[in-house]
Amino acid sequence: MAAQLAVSALSGAGFEIIFGDLLKMVLIVLKNNSQFKPSLERLQKMLEEMAPNIKRIESFNRELDQPKQLERLQGLMSDGKDLVLKCSKIHKYNCLKRPIYNKKLLKLEKDIRDHINIVLQFQEVADTKEILVKQNWTLVGVNNVSSGMKQLSNQVYSGVTQLSDEIVKLRMTISNGDRVDSSNSNIRLAGVCSPPLLKVDPVGFEIPLSELMIKFLKDETSQHIVLSAPGGCGKTTLATALCQLENVKDKFKSNIFFLNVPKLRNLTVIVKMIFQHKDRQLPDFQSEEDAVNHLERLFKQIGPDPVLLVLDDVWPGSESILHKLKFRLENYKILVTSRYEFPSFGSTYKLETLNHADAVTLFQRLALPRDQQSYAPDQQTLEEMVKCCRGFPLVISVVGKSLCGKSAAEWRKRLRECYKAASILTEHEVLDCLQSSVEALNDNVVAKECFMDLGSFPEDQRIPATTLIDMWAELYSLDDDGAIANLHELSDRNLIEVLVTRKDANEDDGSYNEHFVTQHDLLRELAIRESNSKGIEHRKRVILEINENKIPEWLTEQNELSIRAKLLSISTDETFSSSWPSMQAPEVEVLLLNFQTGKHSLPEFIERMNKLKVLVLYNYGFVPAEFSNFRLLGSLSNLKRIRLEKVSIPSLFLTSMKWRKLKKMSLVMCNIGQAFNKSTNKISDAFPKLVDLTIDYCNDLEELPTGFCDLVLLRKLSITNCHKLLALPEDMGNLLDLEILRLNSCIELTELPGTIGGLHKLQILDLSDCLSVMELPEQIGQLHNLRKLYMIECSSCELPSSVTNLFHLKEVICDEETAMSWTRFKPCLPSLTIRVHKEINLNWLG
């Protein structure tokens, strides 16, 4: 009945007819073909749910002249009808085609759903436009009403598009992977508020996990619970494990929100993160109270499923936030993890350290070598070392990993050091115990310095691995491989965790764009403590945090402080007024600016940083930031590497930036249209030495700037997730030194230029998720040094016969249907391995 009503509701013209035809076709095939029943039923349900919104939005589009909003969706519907018709003709015994077309149906449903949620934001846009239509706008008189409505409509659509670009980032995290390649890593699922995914079951948490589960599932009186324990006891791990329990996921479904709440986290930021996670348009909050009211309304709307809000690592200064989030809602529960108790907020669950048996089990898992060649201590030595860790999972993890494969002398030395700790560890003594594991890096002095550099980043922020590689390469005169080796050294010792956010990421390609680093807050505190052990004038790295515009006393005591550090990190919050203190930093080689405000200014003293080699501008706010004095960066004549994240790059970028020594540039989630699109200034004039360029999630990039292919030294080019990029330059063949070209997820890119055949040094080509590329050029066969090709979700792309000339092609990574296309060329390419990329299970998305 619901299906019939949905079809009848869409009996109008244009897009409504196409939509109705698709739904009719789904219903017909469902009656006569059972082999695709689950996928077709999902598609039917989704179409029925969206039917009222389709009718309303098309109606408003006609009145407000925004027909392009539905063009892409119209194409999806038309293709979908053809696909469903094809499915109806597949025989039930055709085992080869059945899984392929079932996957296509699932992808169709996902594409339509994503397009609604990401691009159109149906309900929000419909409601907003309905208001615009119903209200009698009078702007400059009756004759201007129509144009005024269109202008306002464009503004609304622009705002939604900007939000959509942020949401696309989250969605692509889903499609680009939630696999963890590091054996000791956690990873956040897609969505800024999704709980981490534990790869290994935690040891010794069975009883507390069971007790917490009862409180959240059966005890209706336990609405607010504080999970309290000293640092390093595993509070975050236990909270994460709770969120992964099947019965917890069954109860709360998609309404589990997991947020880190570091010191001085602003409540409005928390609310924005939750709205972003639910793919909702961000309201313009007038105050903190307004933000809280919006959140309460959101939680009411997303019912009737219960809501679980997990606030991780809450500090005493954030206690007021907890009380403001206590809404009078049914089936709404809050779990807080903290080193402190908040008795006025809710009941406290105290997490104890591991008992001896569990501590030994965990320590053995990490400390004992898997091979039979390395030294393994006797049981007495092992148990004495475990006792020194006092049952703290973090200490056991770090100490155990640092001893794995070490000699008997090293074990005895470390045991003597750990004996110095008190029988009951305070937080300071936990740091002392962890310090011994850091001191074990003395045989690798550079790795120890790299560990200390990690304190330069904001608490609970994922650090791009490429940023660390850039820093370490320049600070310690390493090549990229040497920097990567230190990254793995710290990971192997459990001093950091490495997350991989793309399921087909391969370190063998030399690309770490999909790798991120996280660190336990105690280890971060240890790094900061070690960095701050000397006077400010003698520190190798200076870490400056400015919150609520409060400048640290050590900086205000002098009229103009002069530092000798090589690394300077400055972090500011969303209240920062851009009133910078005066400072001299002539020796700084790496500058990290971490900020949140949408309007920002650079410190004036940056002009005098004549030795600066690496600059990182990282905006961890919600929209790209605009800089009032971007021109200051033009004076950095020794700059070699730059990373800009969520920055609006001004039009003067290519004219005023003359970085003659710049080797590597990374632009991530930036607005670069003003600087790149139809620019008359040659990028090759501004950056003549550039060898490595990454442009990622820059959604206003439509074409590459003038003279792009004059960057003749370029060896690595990565233009990924740029959804408006339509074409590559015709003279791509001029990039004769190019070895790696990544274009994955440029969904509007329609073709590769024929001149690509001139890239004779190209070894790796990534075209995954370039959905609009229908065929490869015949000249692709001239890439005689190509050894690896990614073509995941490229089943619509035809392969020319010239691919038989790719004699050095060793591996094609692709989906099943694309693999079938390549199989027919396999006899001509005996060295070729076709690796079918397996889809991940996304059932948790709901």
Give every CB contact of residue 27 below 8 A, 6+ residues apart in sequence: 3, 7, 44
Q: Which of 604, 570, 606 is nearest to 585 (CA)?
A: 606
Residue 700 pLDDT grade (very low, low, confident, very high; cuts 50, 70, 90): confident
Q: What mean pLDDT comes out for the span 89-118?
A: 66
Residue 159 pLDDT grade (very low, low, confident, very high; cuts 50, 70, 90): very low
Q: What mean pLDDT comes out for the span 200-208?
A: 88
Our CA angle for 526, 530, 531, nearest 5°, is 115
Helix and strand numbers (H, E) in the chain are 27, 28
Cβ(775)–Cβ(798) below 8 Å: yes
- Outline where DSSP puts E strands in 393-540: 463-464, 497-500, 515-518
Q: What mean pLDDT comes out for the span 546-559?
A: 77
In the block, residue with structure tokens 């534990």: 198
Residue 329 CB-density burial (10 A; 0-12 exposed, 13-18 middle, 19+ buried): middle
Distance CA 417, CA 388 (A): 10
Task: Report percent pLDDT > 70 for the chain.
Answer: 79
Q: What does pLDDT average to over the chain?
A: 80
Q: Which of 777, 691, 808 is nearest to 740 (CA)?
A: 691
Cα-Cα-Cα-Cα dihedral sign, residues 199, 203, 206, 207: negative
Is the previous residue joined to 304 through a cis bond, with omega within 30 degrees of 0? yes
For residue 359, is pLDDT > 80?
A: yes
Distance CA 644, CA 618 (A): 6
Helix axes 356-367, 379-388, angle to 10 degrees: 110
End-to-end, the C-alpha distance of the chain in Å comes to: 24
In the block, residue with structure tokens 């690509």: 756
pLDDT at 504: 63
Tokens representing 344 are 């006025």
Q: Which of 719, 724, 803, 829 is nearest to 768 (CA)?
A: 719
For residue 841, is pLDDT > 80?
A: no
What is the CB-side half-sphere exposure of residue 266 using CA atoms within 13 A?
20
219 vs 60 pLDDT, higher one: 219
pLDDT tens per residue across span 771-813: 889 999 999 999 999 999 999 988 889 999 999 999 999 999 9
Distance CA 685, CA 382 (A): 62
For residue 660, is pLDDT > 80?
A: yes
Cβ(298)–Cβ(280) below 8 Å: yes
Cβ(726)–Cβ(703) below 8 Å: yes
Give the distance from CA 776 to its chain's centroid: 30
What is the three-class DSSP state of 624? coil
For residue 171, is pLDDT > 50?
A: no
pLDDT tens per residue across span 392-450: 888 888 888 888 888 888 888 878 777 665 444 566 667 777 787 787 777 789 999 99
Distance CA 581, CA 788 (A): 51
What is the CB-side half-sphere exposure of residue 324 using CA atoms within 13 A?
17
What is the three-class DSSP state of 586? coil
Q: What mean pLDDT comes out for the span 244-250?
A: 90
Least confident of 412-426, 463-477, 506-520: 412-426
Give the distance from CA 280 to its chain's centroid: 18
Least confident of 87-96, 131-140, 333-342: 131-140
What is the CB-side half-sphere exposure of residue 249 using CA atoms within 13 A?
13
Residue 17 pLDDT grade (very low, low, confident, very high; cuts 50, 70, 90): confident
Give the distance from CA 655 to its chain's centroid: 32
pLDDT tens per residue across span 594-644: 998 888 889 989 988 999 999 999 998 888 888 888 888 888 989 999 999
Least confident of 363-372, 377-386, 501-510, 567-576: 501-510
- Outline where DSSP puts E strands in 381-520: 463-464, 497-500, 515-518
DSSP 767: -
pLDDT at 302: 85
pTM exceeds cut of 0.75: no
Distance CA 835, CA 838 (A): 9
pLDDT at 561: 79
511 beta partners: none
Q: What mean pLDDT comes out for the span 164-187?
A: 33
